[in-house]
């Protein structure tokens, strides 16, 4: 019986020039270990040969240090479809994601829900990246021409379980998939590909077609981002690029001709937060025209994130919201607080970016109605 990879490689959809490309051929060997002791699960994966270590040079990752990674072959279906809503939470089930990695992406964000999903199985400072990208590209080709495909279906490039551009120097997913989505022969229904990033690596997009691709940027005021985004445990310096660098990257993508969207999530509300957000929108609006701005307040899928932050030696968040309680699919701050926050931020969007459509991410129908932010045009939808 043929193995899955053999079936894909013999498929008529398989492009021969892809057959020898492996992510691991483009990375160096890791010089040292992570910032915390490895769990038995990770030790076992390395000992078995299922995983191996590598690193992406800082200049290619767009960071101040080399990015250590684990490499492995993806054997299960790389296209994942998971409904993130329920009867009380708005999140239409028309979105798929390409699982280019597994676990936190390596930027060390201290509010990342993936800390609680993979727990002891993934080191947030040394992400798992799959090194058989041709397997992915063939899966996408099949997804695009499936008889069950519809024009409103969308595919994220690792948006739910990775960063779309952080590993692009070695995976080359954007380089191969963006032309595939732009071509009416390979994408007959005009489905859209979504990128979401905290990186500044838009140089990888130069010269690529822009049709049917959306490039979204995860943003916040710098002082807010510093409260929850990743910091190197040994120096407490930021891991992701600065907010100014990311806004500049969004402007570059816009000038290239891509549709650009912003995701402001999570919104944090420490003392003085309104002034920080007002300055962020006022400064960021210059030269920026995001078609959509998607908002979300701080939320958790489960109550164990603090445990896993401590286990993996991630610094504590500098500010945490008031006690969270289950509401719909997540543990949220109280309804009244969310409503006030959304109304305030939506007002700033209307003042400084009046042409941008504002919507909420994975929010309850009650809060959407009470806040007046009821648009269904959130980040992941066509």
pLDDT at 218 exceeding the cut of 80: yes
Question: What tokens appear for 98 in the block?
Answer: 């390409």
pTM of the model: 0.90
Question: What tokens appear for 47 in the block?
Answer: 């000992």
Structural domains in the chain, sorted by start: 20-371 (3.80.30.30)
**342 contact partners, CB below 8 Å, separation of at least 6:** 295, 297, 360, 367, 371, 373
- Any idea what the Cα angle at residue 101 is, between residues 54 and 32, rounded to 5°? 25
E runs forming strands in the chain: 52-56, 67-72, 79-80, 89-90, 95-98, 101-102, 128-130, 154-156, 192-197, 213-219, 259-267, 292-297, 299-300, 325-327, 330-332, 357-360, 363-364
Q: What is the pLDDT of residues 255-293, one digit of tens each?
A: 999 999 999 999 999 999 999 999 999 999 999 999 999
The whole-angstrom separation of Cα 327 and Cα 85 is 11
Question: What tokens appear for 44 in the block?
Answer: 């076992």
DSSP conformational letter for 49 = T
Q: Cβ distance 317 to 111 under 8 Å?
A: yes
Identify the residue with better confidence: 29 or 263. 263
Q: Quick one: pLDDT at residue 30?
A: 45
E runs forming strands in 57-144: 67-72, 79-80, 89-90, 95-98, 101-102, 128-130
Q: Quick one: pLDDT at residue 90?
A: 87
Q: Using 50, 70 and 90 to split pLDDT, how confident is the model at 191?
A: very high
Q: Quick one: pLDDT at residue 24?
A: 56
Q: Using 50, 70 and 90 to split pLDDT, how confident is the model at 9?
A: very low
The whole-angstrom separation of Cα 195 and Cα 320 is 28
Q: What is the pLDDT of residues 345-375, one digit of tens each?
A: 999 999 999 999 999 999 999 999 999 999 9
Q: What is the pLDDT of residues 121-155, one digit of tens each?
A: 999 999 999 999 999 999 999 999 999 999 999 99
Q: What is the pLDDT of residues 75-94, one digit of tens each?
A: 999 999 987 778 888 888 89
Q: Quick one: pLDDT at residue 21?
A: 53
The whole-angstrom separation of Cα 24 and Cα 133 is 10
Q: Quick one: pLDDT at residue 37?
A: 84
Q: Quick one: pLDDT at residue 20?
A: 47
Residue 367 has a CB neighbour count (10 Å cut-off) of 23
- Percentage of the chain exceeding pLDDT 90: 73
Residue 207 has a CB neighbour count (10 Å cut-off) of 7
């Amino acid at each position: 019986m043929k193995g899955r990879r053999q079936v894909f490689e013999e498929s008529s959809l398989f492009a021969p020039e892809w057959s020898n490309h492996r992510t691991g051929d483009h990375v160096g060997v890791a010089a040292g270990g992570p910032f915390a002791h490895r769990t038995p699960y990770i030790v076992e994966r390395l000992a078995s040969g299922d995983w191996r270590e590598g690193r992406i040079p800082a200049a290619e990752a767009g960071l101040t240090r080399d990015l250590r990674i684990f490499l492995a072959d993806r054997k299960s279906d790389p296209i994942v479809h998971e409904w993130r809503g329920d009867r009380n939470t708005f999140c239409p089930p028309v979105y798929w994601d390409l699982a280019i990695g597994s676990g936190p992406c390596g930027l060390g964000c201290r509010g990342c829900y993936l800390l609680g999903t993979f727990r002891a199985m993934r080191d947030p400072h040394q992400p798992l990246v799959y090194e058989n990208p041709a397997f992915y590209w063939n899966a996408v080709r099949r997804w695009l021409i499936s008889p069950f495909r519809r024009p409103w279906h969308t595919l994220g490039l690792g948006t739910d379980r990775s960063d779309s551009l952080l590993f692009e120097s070695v995976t080359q997913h954007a380089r191969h998939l963006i032309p595939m989505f732009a071509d009416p022969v390979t994408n007959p229904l005009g489905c859209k590909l979504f990128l979401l990033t905290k990186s500044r690596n838009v140089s990888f997009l130069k010269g690529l077609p822009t049709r049917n691709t959306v490039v979204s940027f995860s943003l916040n005021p710098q002082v807010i981002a510093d409260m929850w985004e990743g910091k190197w445990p040994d120096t407490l310096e930021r891991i992701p690029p600065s907010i100014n660098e990311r806004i500049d990257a969004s402007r570059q993508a816009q000038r290239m001709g891509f549709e650009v969207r912003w995701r402001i999530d999570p919104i944090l509300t420490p003392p003085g937060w309104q002034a920080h957000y007002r300055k962020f929108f006022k400064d960021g609006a210059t030269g920026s025209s995001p078609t959509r701005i998607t908002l979300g307040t701080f939320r958790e899928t489960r109550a164990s994130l603090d445990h896993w932050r401590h286990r993996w030696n991630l610094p504590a968040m500098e500010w945490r919201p008031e006690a969270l309680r289950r509401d719909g699919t997540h543990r949220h701050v109280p309804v009244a607080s969310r409503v006030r926050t959304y109304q305030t931020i939506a007002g700033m969007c209307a003042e400084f970016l009046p042409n941008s459509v504002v919507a909420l991410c994975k929010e309850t129908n009650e809060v959407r109605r009470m806040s007046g932010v009821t648009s269904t045009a959130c980040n992941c939808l066509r």
